[in-house]
Chain A
């Protein structure tokens, strides 16, 4: 197992190098830079040149890349030039990432709570009323875009019922746990619902698949209680494809949800990227995208390791 993890981590290095080069190129190919936006009405050519020099934008592209990559290797992702002038990119990412992490965690909790329970119920009551209801809900969950659901939730809870606390906004955890949680609830529901629909369908079909397996029939023939079979054999085995979907979902959610964060006014990673792009804050965009790539690599690794826990037949590190 240790060898496998090491191998995967080593493979991550070229991935990171290529990803960082692509990010760097894409950002610099796009028209427009941060300098003139920073200077506002004061478009003096001497200042433009001075600032470009300070930011290293007057260097050839490969030198700019090497300079940035060299610093990034030492954990220095540079300084924000237009989002929060002078602030270190790393501190901005840490600040924003904690918000995204919290939303992602709560969304996954919401998604799993809805999906696993309805998926199990749906499979156990196949083609009966609970199954039909669950499938309709799942269809709606997949079909409704989460920004629309977000706005509807704000209208319902923010404007009519829970006002004013349901209308979004952000309270840091250190300021108020309750204030933070109540404002995170609706974004988590908006994001989690979409995933719950996908996971619920996955859970249902995996359950039905497992329920038709020989070992389940054998277990029943041996007189083992149905509840015990469902709990110990069916659900555990049905969870494998769910873990894959959730793994992808976590990776995606940790990259920040631009639309949901904007609608609910959350200062997460998605929000940071979009502001960075509009303000051409090159160091921030480069830093954040690199971080997302790292997170995706780590999440994928964890998901792969989880497989072996859920299915003992899967073993890594022995010529798999």
Chain B
């Protein structure tokens, strides 16, 4: 009798296990980090972006060439007027939100107005442009007026308005809400969009589950009923899960493993030039690469700091770093922007980057002909930053230069960099959130009181914690202000070139390379590769068929 009971128990357990395995047929996506906030207007991290892409629809989308498109976008067409100071948007009809309400122009106006409201401290407000007014013409037509020509609107809106939410959905404002509040908004953990998938649940530390939105406005999309985004921190665990079929798509493949994954049966890979730039921040408000408060106006000190920055610029062999750390899957930069773009200065494109002789000359000019220079390089200890820093350490050793690599975590890195001038250089990356060279010049260099390199100029609003550092910032800002409202594209481009030359030739920071995005998925997921672009997003709208593990 006892044996019989045991047998029945084992059988029962077996049936439960087998039935659960048979039922497990859902698309599973592995992402390296757990999202922080699913409100598109206040999110700042990549992990949340993966989810937002599939829960919401953008007003404007970018295609594979990073040009504005209306495919899978809520804007049907647009028309520029008034010398690029007005844009009229025609919106899609028959679109529904997950809460059952219809999408109209009032929703788009709400999305723009909410971000423009300074009380909401929306992080991408700057990307909306110099908006003067937003007028609803009818339920499906909207007119946006700018204070100055703003031809980059479609590009920057593809990020600033990448998830349209229903009117009033952010909820009531309170002290704790918004990006500068620890409680997020009503959408932070209960997102409502018009996208192909509805939010189901969020198991902290494990996964977020989405299900098909049956009223999605694009027929036949999505191709699967359920999607689970699993958070998998460990790259080895992520790869094992992909190979085994436990997950079907991964957000990225480590550089060292890409060739192996590529050779594996049942897996599909794709390599796309990415938007993640690897750069060295330089502290311009303290020696050796900048000047201290006491050295303001001291030409010798300014010259010495300049020579040392030039030394650093020419001593680093970017190609070797790309080969050694990124297995040659990176594009070397000749300035802040993409080397193959028209928006990169033709003069910079011809520049020799790695030049040991020139490096020695600059080092000697700075008074270190026999070596003896020593400086610190902070590197966040996640990802490859410490590896890159140690390669740089090796590259500078023959010059008699000592680099102290300081592994540090991101929060400490930010606190040190922004709140003190007690650092020399920092190795980090930065994801570009749109494809306007001008916009990137703004993000990287413009702000007087606050930029990564402590590049400041004397101004009435300069905070007392900062001081005027190496020259050129005032001129840079003035040129940016002109370029930003210049309607003529060629003139704007030429101004961008000038600004790029300023920051590159003066070595305000060292923009080294853009890394490729390495994607992999199982061959049972059809069509996924068609939706990939250089932004490295996970766009499930393009999947045409999913046939299981």
**Which residues of A approach B to under 8 Å, CB–CB?**
30-34, 36-45, 47-48, 50-51, 54-55, 79, 81-87, 92, 95-96, 99, 151, 154-155, 158-159, 163-172, 176-182, 262-268, 271-272, 275, 278-280
Contact = CB atoms under 8 A, between A and B. Distances in A.
Contact of A47 (B20, B180, B430): B180
Nearest to B33: A275
A170 B243 CA distance: 17
Interface residues of B, number: 65
Most chain A beta carbons < 10 A, residue from B205, B231, B382 = B205
A87 B189 contact: yes
A51 B205 contact: no
Contact of B180 (A37, A50, A83, A266): A50
Contacts of B183: 79, 85-86
A37 B240 contact: no
Given A86-B182, A95-B204, A264-B237, A179 B189 contact: no
Contacts of A81: 182
16 contacts: A31-B415, A31-B416, A32-B411, A38-B179, A39-B44, A40-B44, A41-B44, A41-B123, A42-B44, A48-B418, A86-B184, A151-B240, A169-B241, A170-B203, A182-B21, A262-B237
A55 B182 contact: yes
Contacts of A50: 180
A86 B244 CA distance: 35
A87 B204 contact: yes
Interface of B: 13, 16-21, 23-24, 28, 34, 36-37, 44-45, 121, 123, 175-176, 179-184, 188-189, 202-207, 230-234, 236-237, 240-241, 243-247, 382, 408-416, 418, 430, 433, 443, 449-450, 463, 549
Contacts of B414: 32, 36-37, 43
- 8 closest residue pairs by CB, A with B: A40-B44, A267-B205, A178-B20, A32-B412, A32-B411, A164-B245, A36-B414, A164-B246
Contact of B204 (A44, A83, A171): A83
Given A32-B409, A182-B21, A83 B182 contact: no
A40 B24 contact: no
Given A165-B21, A267-B206, A39 B179 contact: yes
Contact of B240 (A34, A168, A275, A280): A168
Contacts of B382: 278
Contacts, number: 206
Contacts of A44: 121, 450
Contact of A279 (B37, B182, B411, B463): B411
Contact of A85 (B36, B244, B450): B36
B296 to A, nearest CB: 22
A236 to B, nearest CB: 23
Contacts of B430: 41
Given A164-B244, A170-B203, A275 B175 contact: no
